[in-house]
Chains A and B, each alone.
Chain A
Amino acid sequence: MNAPAPNSTAPKVVGAEKIKVVVSAIVPLNNLVTRFEFKRAGGGQFPTFSGGAHTVVEMQDGDFKRINPYSLMSDPADRDTYAISVRRDDQGRGGSLFLHQRVQVGATMTLSSPVNLFSLDLRARKHLFVAGGIGITPFMSQIKQLDAVHGNWELHYSCRNPELGSYVDELTSKHAHSVNVYYDDKKQLIDLENLLDGQPIGTHLYVCGPKGMIDWVRTTAAAVGWPDAHVHHEEFLAPQPGKPFAVRLAKSGLSVEVGEHESLLEAIERLGVEPPYLCRGGACGQCETDVLESEGTFIHRDHWLEDDEKSSGVKIMPCVSRFEGKTLVLDR
């Protein structure tokens, strides 16, 4: 921003607006997935949101603040309750374990206002959803949004087995004709080429699930001639552990060692420096940071930077990407 705006200097934006909540219900759905429901602390209504939006959940785990994004899967029109469904990841960095093991009904937590990076294209004549496992969650709110206006949608939902099929019963009992479920254990596969071939003009395709599934759906759709603009996907990456490395922040004049199980963004925040963020999963682009000096190898894992930006080593997305080497100096 070149010039100060009329009344103040440019605002510092760190994530979306925060909402204080109380955990109102914890509902185990199966061995791995649990639903958490929230009411607004002190009463009052939540903002409405659009299907596919996520919220960023802050968890105070001792001295460590865990911050993870989860899709809102409640009805967007329901302003009394927000709900997320969380799959326990025993190998993960601990956010889902914290929710599963340490959070109890009545606990107070902080959510962000809804942010949508996986919005419905409202021009679509038909919405075709492909979900894998916990990737069902954004579709839960999109389906509720579309049902309120008698929208045209169809879901193809692949899960490991009936026991782990979160919300299969709810979906199939309400929408017998629109929901198709496939179980890996029964060797049931989505016949994707055939499915894509039979869609009316104006259909939009949405996929959310494991990386392999997203790649398969996008590649197949491209190969049979679907326009890019009609194929939507959402994939939030969790930061991966890696070797510790040192980083210097030039503007702040601070240095920090990024721990094995910590992301670069978290290490920067630990110093009290707050880069903006919306997703913390390599998708929204907000935390993009200029690299001033480096000697070593970047481990870029985001979906945001262009390939040439990654290979030239002038930018890094600190939410999911790491570094191995001697020197790293960032413009923060």
Chain B
Amino acid sequence: MTIQFNDETFRDDYSFSNSQRAKDRFPFPFHEDSYMYSINMEQHQGGPADSIYEKRFDVDEHYLAEMRDRALVLADDPLRCQSLPHMTLAGWDLLELIMVSKSEDYPELFELHRNGSKWHWINKPMGIEDHFVFMDETTLPYGPMEYITRQTQGDFCVLDQREDNLWMDAGMVTTQADWSLDFDIGMNFFEWHAPVPLAHEKGIFKRALKFLLSIQQGAPARRLNWTMTVNPLLDTSPENYHKWGVQKNTLTPENLGSKQHLRVELQTFFRLPRSNGLVFPIRCYLMSFQDIMAKPKWGRRLHRVVRDLPEELATYKGFIDNRPMMLDFLAQYDDGLPTSFGVWADEHSEPSLQK
């Protein structure tokens, strides 16, 4: 299929919007009417046709706008992209993984021609064409990780594996849910997850680490995570909190449907073959509350999840103050009918709103 790329922004006038196709393939993250942490991992080996799970690295209508936004963030703050000296090999691993995946999954958009170590990369949507020598940094305009992640949607944590732990030793992080690569760089798995409430007590991180350490070549995994964002902002970083934190106060009952967004992360995990590292891409999908309400099942369920979420989690996810106003809005779309199990909207079988 041909993707029509949106001309849109994630800042200032916020002209971001989702087409009907983007709304239909939005990864609504709640499989039942309540939410609690779980490891909820599954294999990342394709998925339903045209879903965000189908390809290894999903490319959608927001691609060019997201890459423009990333370039703006990096121009303001180069520390959003860092790679400790021992992580260059993992950077080449990542470049290879993405170039091979995208050229195989989207041959009409990306081409990779390899002749030994002489590589030729064509990115048609971005108008990029480069010849370079694989494993020779001097032949690319940036380091290998930065080069390829300036051309790929989502944040990237490139993790070193040693001492039975994972270490945040490289990354490209410009579309994050309020965490900082510059703060976390060099930390291990338990250290960078230290601020998360409730999950440590439940032993979630110990089990999650064990799972991640055993992810093998050719067998990537994935899960979803979520939070809330006022305005379709990609860069909700601690570095820029003074810019976006105050926007949470601009919410009114009238504008909430269009301003309040559910922010869903598709997190994937790939073993990197040459370095034995692990890459953890975090791809962000945004959808406004009013667009979610167009799917009756999602409307009913979102109300119940937000209503019943433990206070610690609503605080951690940054919407405790706005929760009453959100619930006033969401309650209009909950008629109390039961919902079907699973994340899909089931528009053909779920009844329309009965009020």
Q: Measuring CB to CB, which residues of chain A are less than 8 angstroms from any residue of chain B?
A: 1-11, 13, 16-17, 47-50, 52-53, 76, 113-116, 119-123, 145, 148-149, 229, 278, 284-286
| Contact A6:B53 (CB < 8 A) given known A50-B273, A113-B217 | yes
A115 to B40, CA, bound (A): 24
Binds A, one of B159-167, B227-235, B332-340: B159-167
Task: Identify whether the interface residues of A are mostly helix, strand, loop, or mixed.
Answer: loop
12 contacts between A and B (CB under 8 A): A2-B38, A3-B40, A7-B53, A11-B43, A13-B214, A16-B217, A47-B218, A49-B274, A50-B275, A52-B276, A119-B161, A229-B162
Q: In the assembled complex, which residues on chain B have CB atoms less than 8 Å from the CB atom of A1?
A: 38-41
Contact at B216–A16, with CB atoms within 8 Å?
A: yes
Q: Is B193 an interface residue (CB 8 A)?
A: no
Q: Measuring CB to CB, which residues of chain B are less than 8 angstroms from any residue of chain A?
A: 27, 29, 31-32, 36-43, 47-48, 51, 53, 85-87, 89, 135, 160-163, 210, 214, 216-219, 222-224, 273-276, 342-343
Task: Identify whether the interface residues of B are mostly helix, strand, loop, or mixed.
Answer: loop
Contact at B89–A122, with CB atoms within 8 Å?
A: yes
| Contact A278:B216 (CB < 8 A) given known A6-B343, A122-B89 | yes
Contact at B214–A286, with CB atoms within 8 Å?
A: yes
The minimal Cβ–Cβ distance linking B78 to chain A, given in whole angstroms, is: 23
**How many residue-residue contacts, CB under 8 A, span A and B?**
102
Contact at B274–A113, with CB atoms within 8 Å?
A: no
Contact at B42–A3, with CB atoms within 8 Å?
A: no
Contact at B40–A119, with CB atoms within 8 Å?
A: no
| Contact A119:B273 (CB < 8 A) given known A5-B223, A17-B218, A49-B217 | no
Looking across the interface, which residue of chain A has its beta carbon closest to that of B167? A123
Contact at B31–A3, with CB atoms within 8 Å?
A: yes
Q: In the assembled complex, which residues on chain B have CB atoms less than 8 Å from the CB atom of A122?
A: 86-87, 89, 160, 275
Contact at A4–B276, with CB atoms within 8 Å?
A: no
Contact at A17–B216, with CB atoms within 8 Å?
A: yes
A269 to B210, CA, bound (A): 23
Contact at B42–A5, with CB atoms within 8 Å?
A: yes
A121 to B86, CA, bound (A): 9
Cross-chain contact of B217 among A4, A114, A149 (Cβ < 8 A): A114
Contact at A4–B218, with CB atoms within 8 Å?
A: no
A272 to B220, CA, bound (A): 26
The minimal Cβ–Cβ distance linking B166 to chain A, given in whole angstroms, is: 13
Contact at A13–B219, with CB atoms within 8 Å?
A: yes
| Contact A17:B217 (CB < 8 A) given known A1-B39, A6-B27, A229-B163 | yes
A121 to B160, CA, bound (A): 9
Contact at A50–B276, with CB atoms within 8 Å?
A: yes
Q: In the assembled complex, which residues on chain A have CB atoms less than 8 Å from the CB atom of B40?
A: 1-6
Contact at B274–A3, with CB atoms within 8 Å?
A: no
Looking across the interface, which residue of chain A has its beta carbon closest to that of B216? A16
Looking across the interface, which residue of chain A has its beta carbon closest to that of B215? A13
* Known contacts A16-B218, A114-B273; 5 further A-B pairs (Cβ under 8 A): A1-B38, A3-B31, A47-B273, A113-B217, A122-B275
Interface centre among A4, A7, A9, A116 (most CB of B within 10 A): A7
Contact at B162–A121, with CB atoms within 8 Å?
A: yes
Q: In the assembled complex, which residues on chain B have CB atoms less than 8 Å from the CB atom of A3?
A: 31-32, 38, 40
A2 to B41, CA, bound (A): 10
A42 to B224, CA, bound (A): 37
Contact at B48–A2, with CB atoms within 8 Å?
A: no
Contact at A2–B36, with CB atoms within 8 Å?
A: yes
Contact at B274–A50, with CB atoms within 8 Å?
A: yes
Q: In the assembled complex, which residues on chain B have CB atoms less than 8 Å from the CB atom of A47?
A: 217-218, 273
Cross-chain contact of B214 among A8, A114, A278 (Cβ < 8 A): A278
Contact at B86–A16, with CB atoms within 8 Å?
A: no
Q: In the assembled complex, which residues on chain A have CB atoms less than 8 Å from the CB atom of B162?
A: 119, 121, 229
The minimal Cβ–Cβ distance linking A250 to chain B, given in whole angstroms, is: 22
